[in-house]
Structure 1
Amino acid sequence: MNWHSTTTEGMEKMAAATWYVDVDLALPAPADDGQIEALMDLVQPMHGAIASGARATIGLSLAIEAENSWEALAMVKTVVAHDVAAVIPGSRVTSVRALDEDTRSAEIDTPRFPELVAVPDIADMLGVARQTAFKLSNRDDFPSPALTPRTGNLWVRAAVEQWSAARDRKPGRRPHVPLEGGQDD
């Protein structure tokens, strides 16, 4: 297991600061309510939070006061090796990282979810009518929707663009070329 440290100041020693340490764990089975409660009690003094995954995974996010990232990682490694292992035997660390406050803030400000498109957007992208875009979206070779809210499916734009570039167009049809500025008439 690699323990990663990311700082905006490098690895030099500094006065005690808050380090944000994220730990991902793979569990032998999904955690039960008692285990989650025990973990919450364990991470509470470290201003921690827990995210429980559906596939027997748990993420811990902790705030650690330490002089540097390596010291923060060492403190968390001790907690995980002893206390978490006692609560959930057989748990395995899959990733760990320590971030300083500036790096953590920048990461929080950066969106992580890909751009999503609906049928009208797909119609514009492909230069076809909405009805045609809807029909195309039901083809077996079309990308699966990323989200399926009641208002209509949403696809990842990059997946639709990749599908469009690779698809066979019917003979006699010109590929869609958007006008300058990305706007169509």
Structure 2
Amino acid sequence: MSRKLIIVFEGIEGTGKSHHINKVAKYLRSKKKDFIQIREPGGSKNSEKIRKLILDNKSSFNNYTDLLLYLSARSENIEIIKTNIGKKIILIDRFTDSTIAYQHYGMGVNLKFIKNINNFLLKNINIDFTFLNTVNKKNMKDRLMNRKILNRYDKFDYIFYSKVQNGFLKILKKNPKKYMQIDSNLNIKYNEKIILNKIDDLI
């Protein structure tokens, strides 16, 4: 019997996290495993509406408005998670660590404020494992340049992304047993094998 875990994929732009979560979804489908796949912001119908607002290049918000929009999108996803927790494997493209990495370490929003709202929303929902994808400056820039469409969060300067990535690494160091760092500067096929092997171990 498979373990029905909550597995999150984190990382800054250009790290390949969305590629890898899609590969894992394809793998689970081939193994006939019950799972759901959501993203943040996004996932539910209302959360996808909020996503469009957050990522729109014409949008301009102060840091607290930005945070609260992300948390509003999460609030809309909580029922999806609650409905499926313990019944299906739950794959999430970005989750609570992204909020801390981007909004606290990147933008300087008070950490206690973020954690208080996250704790209120999640209550007894716990993440079982996180794949943290990291990337160097050159590869991140090259990959963003190859994107046909860039959203608002693809256009910050590298100092911001560096702060965010270092924030992710600080989070990882506090609980290393529940994280695996994936060096996305390495061959993508090599990383796919590492991730899928870990998925097999987890479930």
The two structures have a TM-score, normalised by structure 2, of: 0.22
For CA contacts below 8 A with separation 6 or more, give which structure has more relative contact order.
2
The two structures have a TM-score, normalised by structure 1, of: 0.23
Asked which structure has the greater CA Rg, the reply is 1
Higher strand share: 1
Higher helix share: 2
